[in-house]
């Protein structure tokens, strides 16, 4: 099949009956990306300004603009969107403009059926490009969040640990910190917030620092008290060990899930849904390279449930997908809306054909 024929087949897939072919503007407001994707993603965006000073970015993906448009047309209305076109990101290993295709299923009432459709879509894309034995990595965010909710720890630490899920280095550093808390705290201990603010103000003036050009003494005092409260909120060593053991689990899917089940003496996790989702991926094609990675997650906290990525013989992810039920609500919908999607990297797929 020629590159043109493959492109045509992919376009037919993302505009199949019942699927709306979406084409968001190339220039989009960057605020949602900074709010939801964070500084790491923001650093890769290509920013520009209109003549009136309005800030835009070149479209770095399709998912957020599609979700924003869907909310405007009725967030709770079931819909399927396909897309195929250029996205723009700064990359160290390739051009800043490259083609991305994909599908987003929003507000479908049957989450399992929606996931089936997304996995079938991923398989169809790989078939177009002749990728017959992909390496598949799958994770389950719901499983980790269930574990985190059941762990013995002060509640103040749960959102901080969750925020580092999918960031192995940051998670490791935080668990190290929790395992070895500071025994001494510099500064005034036990003072009221107003007294701490006065102490900070005096230090700033003594050292020639402005009281207005950066954070105020009151803001610094409040952050200091928050830090003191965190340091005083001790996380049991058994909990830290449990989290480390869970996050270290990665390997052949059946073996990895058996390892999680063997932890039932320490904590009881519901694995039926996870096994069913793993089987959905297994049934999408013959694959002896199906890995369950307990620590795997996109670095975006609106993802929920299953996430997966598929690679071929070359380097780089060819297809990635997952559930992101919190996204539409984070963008302004009145309630949580079920959502699942899949993105495909056309340039990498074409390179896979040539390899």
Q: Kindly report, residue by residue over 204-217, the tens digit of the pLDDT.
A: 655 656 666 566 76
Residues 220-268: tens digit of each pLDDT: 766 665 565 566 678 999 999 999 999 999 999 999 999 999 998 788 8
* Domain residue limits at 138: 3-22+59-148+246-354
Within-domain flag for 321: yes
The pLDDT mean for the chain works out to 86
Between the alpha carbon of residue 346 and those of residues 160, 201, 217, the distances in Å are 35, 56, 52
CB 352 within 8 A of CB 314: yes
pTM over 0.85: no
Within-domain flag for 98: yes
Q: Is 137 annotated as a binding residue?
A: no
Which of 185, 213, 215 is CA-nearest to residue 200?
Answer: 215
Q: Are residues 252 and 336 in the same domain?
A: yes
What is the per-residue pLDDT for 265?
78
Q: Rounded to whole angstroms, how far apart are CA atoms 77 and 140?
A: 26
Residues 186-204: tens digit of each pLDDT: 555 555 556 566 656 666 6
Within-domain flag for 125: yes
Q: Are residues 7 and 136 in the same domain?
A: yes
Q: Is 304 annotated as a binding residue?
A: no
Q: Is 177 annotated as a binding residue?
A: no
Between the alpha carbon of residue 131 and those of residues 95, 115, 181, 354, the distances in Å are 23, 21, 49, 11
Residue 261 CB neighbours (<10 A)? 12
What is the per-residue pLDDT for 341?
97
Within-domain flag for 72: yes
Between the alpha carbon of residue 334 and those of residues 114, 316, 339, the distances in Å are 22, 37, 15
What is the per-residue pLDDT for 208?
59
CB 83 within 8 A of CB 23: yes
What is the per-residue pLDDT for 316?
86
pLDDT band for 184, please (50, 70, 90 cuts).
very low
Q: Rounded to whole angstroms, how far apart are CA atoms 26 and 145?
A: 35
Q: What kind and span of H or E run contains 225?
A: helix 217-232
Q: Rounded to whole angstroms, how far apart are CA atoms 328 and 265?
A: 37
Residue ending a domain, among 202, 232, 262, is: 232
- CA max distance for the chain: 74
Q: Helices (H), strands (E): how many in the chain? A: 14, 12
Q: Rounded to whole angstroms, how far apart are CA atoms 302 and 41?
A: 14
207 SS3 class? coil
What is the per-residue pLDDT for 152?
92
| Least trusted range by pLDDT, from 73-77, 109-113, 200-204, 347-351 | 200-204
Q: Is 330 annotated as a binding residue?
A: no
Q: Rounded to whole angstroms, how far apart are CA atoms 15 and 240?
A: 48
What is the per-residue pLDDT for 105?
98
DSSP 56-82: EEE---SHHHHHHHHHHHHTTS-EEEE
What is the per-residue pLDDT for 233?
72
More confident residue, 267 or 16: 16
Residues 29-72: tens digit of each pLDDT: 999 998 887 667 778 899 999 889 899 999 999 999 999 999 99
CB 275 within 8 A of CB 289: no
Within-domain flag for 292: yes
Total domains present in the chain: 2
What is the per-residue pLDDT for 241?
96
- Pull the structure tokens for residue 164: 């580092």
Residue ending a domain, among 208, 232, 256, is: 232
Q: Are residues 130 and 203 in the same domain?
A: no
- Pull the structure tokens for residue 354: 């040539």
Q: Is 302 annotated as a binding residue?
A: yes
Q: Is 61 annotated as a binding residue?
A: yes
Give the CA angle between residues 147, 117, 308 to the nearest 5°.
40
Within-domain flag for 88: yes
What is the per-residue pLDDT for 323?
95
Q: Rounded to whole angstroms, how far apart are CA atoms 242 and 327?
A: 29
């Amino acid at each position: 099949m020629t590159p043109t024929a493959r492109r045509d087949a992919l376009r037919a897939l993302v505009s199949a009956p019942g699927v709306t072919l979406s084409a968001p503007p190339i220039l989009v407001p960057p605020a949602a990306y900074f709010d939801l994707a964070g500084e790491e993603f923001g650093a890769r965006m290509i920013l520009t300004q209109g003549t009136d000073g309005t800030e835009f970015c070149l479209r770095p993906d399709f998912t957020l603009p599609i979700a924003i448009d869907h909310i405007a047309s009725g967030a709770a209305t079931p819909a399927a969107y396909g897309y195929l076109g250029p996205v723009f990101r700064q990359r160290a290993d390739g051009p800043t403009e490259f083609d991305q295709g994909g599908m987003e299923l929003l507000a479908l009432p049957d989450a399992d059926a929606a996931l089936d459709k997304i996995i079938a879509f991923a398989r169809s894309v790989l078939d177009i490009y002749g990728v017959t034995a992909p390496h598949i990595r799958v994770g389950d965010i719901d499983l980790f969040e269930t574990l985190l909710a059941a762990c013995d720890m002060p509640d103040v630490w749960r959102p901080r640990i969750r925020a580092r899920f999918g960031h192995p280095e940051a998670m490791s550093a935080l668990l190290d910190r929790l395992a070895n808390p500071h025994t001494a705290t510099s500064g005034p201990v036990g003072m009221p917030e107003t007294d701490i603010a006065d102490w900070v103000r005096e230090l700033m003036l003594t050292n020639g620092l402005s009281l207005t050009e950066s954070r105020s003494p009151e803001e610094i005092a409040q952050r200091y008290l928050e830090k003191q409260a965190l340091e005083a909120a001790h996380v049991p060593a058994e909990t830290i060990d449990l989290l480390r053991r869970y996050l270290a689990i990665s390997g052949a899917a059946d073996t990895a899930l058996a390892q999680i089940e063997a932890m039932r003496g320490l904590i009881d996790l519901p694995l039926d849904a996870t096994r069913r989702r793993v089987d959905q991926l297994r049934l999408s094609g013959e694959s002896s390279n199906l890995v369950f990675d307990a620590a795997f997650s996109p670095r975006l906290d609106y993802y929920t449930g299953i996430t997966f990525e598929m690679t071929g013989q070359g380097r780089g992810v060819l297809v990635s997908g997952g559930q992101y039920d919190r996204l539409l609500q984070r963008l302004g919908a009145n309630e949580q809306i079920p959502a699942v999607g899949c993105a495909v990297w056309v340039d990498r797929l074409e390179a896979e054909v040539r390899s």
